Structure 1
Amino acid sequence: MQVENKLFDDLARVASGAAGALSGIRGEVEGQIRQQFERILAQMDVVSREEFEAMKAVAVEARARQEALEERLAALEARLSAAKAD
């Protein structure tokens, strides 16, 4: 009976060690994949989310200014047409 308990204890230690090793390997593989993915993205010259949001804000502001200028131009053209009609 004692031999069986020792055998089960040894098997449990081996299984525990294997689980720990697999956990370490998993972390290492995840790290390697993350590094490779970041390297690929850097080579593709992909912008970050922060850069995208900043440029989006610039584009929205430029669009608003363009629309305001179009309104001013239309008002000036209307005044000019009215002045020519007089």
Structure 2
Amino acid sequence: MQTQNRLLDDFARLMTDAAGAAQGMRREAETIMRAQFERLLRDMDVASREELEVLRDLVATLRTQNDALTARVAALEAALQASRTPGAKTSKPPAA
């Protein structure tokens, strides 16, 4: 009877050690994978959140300027077209 208990105790200890080793290997694999993923992102030159926010603000400013310039060009084209129509007063184009 003593032999069976000892055998079961040894088997339980072996399983506990195996589970601990498996957890250790899992943690090590996660660490290695995380390091590889971070290296891959660094090598891919991915933009950071701060860089994206700066770019978003820059694009918004440029879009506003583009809209203003588009309106100005449309006004200048309308003035040019009006000055070219027959019977229209000839006047100097607006100063830019």
Q: What CA deviation, in whole Å up to 9, does each residue of 1:13-69 have, x standing for no partner? A: 111111111111111111112112222322232223442343234224312321222
Instruction: Determine the structure 2 residue equivalent to 1:70.
Output: 70
Amino acid at match of 2:66: Q
For 2:30, the aligned partner's letter is E
- Structure 1 length normalisation: TM-score? 0.73
Structure having the larger proportion of residues in helix: 1
Gaps of 5+ in 2: 90-96
Q: How does 1:30-41 map to 2 (within 5 A)?
A: 30-41=30-41
Q: Distance in 1 between matches of 2:30 and 2:44?
A: 21
**Greater RCO (CA < 8 Å, at least 6 residues apart):** 2
**RMSD of aligned residue pairs (Cα, Å):** 2.2
The answer to whether structure 1 residue 8 and structure 2 residue 8 are counterparts is: yes
Percent identity at matched positions?
49
Q: Which runs of 5+ in 1 are unaligned?
A: none
Which has more radius of gyration?
2
